[in-house]
Structure 1
Amino acid sequence: MLASQRQARIVEELRRGGGVRVSDLTELLGVSDMTVRRDLEVLARAGVLHKVHGGAVLATSRRTDEPGFAAKSALQQPAKEAIAARAAELITPGTAIALSAGTTTWNLARHITAIPELTVVTNSTTVADILEAQAPRAGFTVILTGGVRTPSAALVGPVADQSISSLHVDQLFIGMHGMDAVAGLTTPNLAEAQTNRALINSAKEVVVLADSTKWGIVGLADFGPLSTADVLITDNGLPPAAHDILAESVGDLIVVDAADSGLPSAPSVGDRT
Structure 2
Amino acid sequence: MEERRRKILQELEEKGKVRVNELSAELGCSEVTIRNDIKCMERAGLLIRTHGGALKIEETPQKKYSAESIYRNTDKKKAIAARAYECVDDRDTIIIDDTSTGFYLALHIKQHAEKRIAVVTNSLLVGNELAGLDHVELYMVGGPVGGHLAATMGDEAVADISRFHVDKAFIGVHGINFDVGITSTASPQVQVKQAIMKASDKVIVLADSSKFGGGYLSVICPLRDIYQIITDEEVDEEYSERAEREQIPLIIA
Fold-level similarity (TM above 0.5): yes
User: Aligned to 1:227, which of 215, 224, 228?
Assistant: 224
Q: Which letter maps to 2:79? A: A
Q: Distance in 2 between matches of 1:250 and 1:234?
A: 16
Q: How does 1:1-273 map to 2 (within 5 A)?
A: 70-113=67-110, 114-133=113-132, 135=133, 137-138=134-135, 140-148=136-144, 149-249=146-246, 251-256=248-253
Which residue of 2 is the match for residue 49 of structure 1? Answer: none
Contact 2:223 2:248 in 1 (8 A): no
1:226·1:250 contact (CA, 8 Å) conserved in 2?
no
Partner residue of 1:62? none
TM-score (norm 2): 0.69
Task: Give the residue type in structure 1 aligned to 2:223.
Answer: L
Give the root-mean-square deviation of aligned CA atoms. Answer: 1.8
Which has the bigger relative contact order, CA under 8 A and spacing at least 6? 1
- Residue 95 of structure 1, CA deviation: 1.5
Query: Partner amino acid for 1:186?
Result: T
Within 2, Cα distance between the matches of 1:99 and 1:84?
A: 11
Aligned mates of 1:180, 1:126 — CA distance in 2: 28
- Cα deviation code 1:191-248 (max 9, x no counterpart): 1101100001111111110000001133321211122221111011111111122334
- How far has the Cα of 1:163 moved from its partner? 0.8
Tell me if the contact between 1:227 and 1:250 (Cα under 8 Å) persists in the aligned partners: no
What letter corresponds to residue 142 of structure 1 in structure 2? L
Give deviations 1:2-47, integer Å, cap 9, x for gaps: xxxxxxxxxxxxxxxxxxxxxxxxxxxxxxxxxxxxxxxxxxxxxx
Following the alignment from structure 2 to structure 1, what is the Cα–Cα distance between the partners of residues 201 and 217? 27
- Give me the TM-score of the superposition, normalised by structure 1: 0.64
Q: Contact 2:209–2:234 (CA<8 Å) still a contact in 1?
A: yes
Task: Evaluate the alpha carbon distance shift between residue 181 and residue 127 of structure 1 in structure 2; reply closer, same or farther with a 3 A threshold.
Answer: same
Q: Which 5+ residue runs of structure 1 have no aligned equivalent?
A: 1-67, 257-273
CA-to-partner distance for each residue in 1:41-68, whole Å, 9 max, x for gaps? Answer: xxxxxxxxxxxxxxxxxxxxxxxxxxx9
Give the whole-Å Cα distance in 1 for the aligned partners of 2:147 and 2:247. Answer: 28
Letter in 1 for 2:154: G
2:95 counterpart SS class: strand
In structure 2, the CA distance between the partners of 1:250 and 1:223, relative to structure 1 (3 Å rule), is farther
CA contact (8 A) 1:183 1:218 kept: no
The alpha-carbon distance between structure 1 residues 217 and 101, as it changes in their structure 2 partners (threshold 3 A), is farther
Over the matched positions of the two proteins, sequence identity in percent amounts to 32
Give a deviation string over 1:124-170, Cα, whole Å, max 9, x none. Answer: 1111111104x2x32x2111112232123232111110011121100
Gap regions ≥5 residues in structure 2: 1-64
Q: Size of the alignment, in residue pairs?
A: 186
State the Cα deviation string for residues 78-124 of structure 1 (Å, max 9, x = none): 11000000110111111111101100010000111224431100111
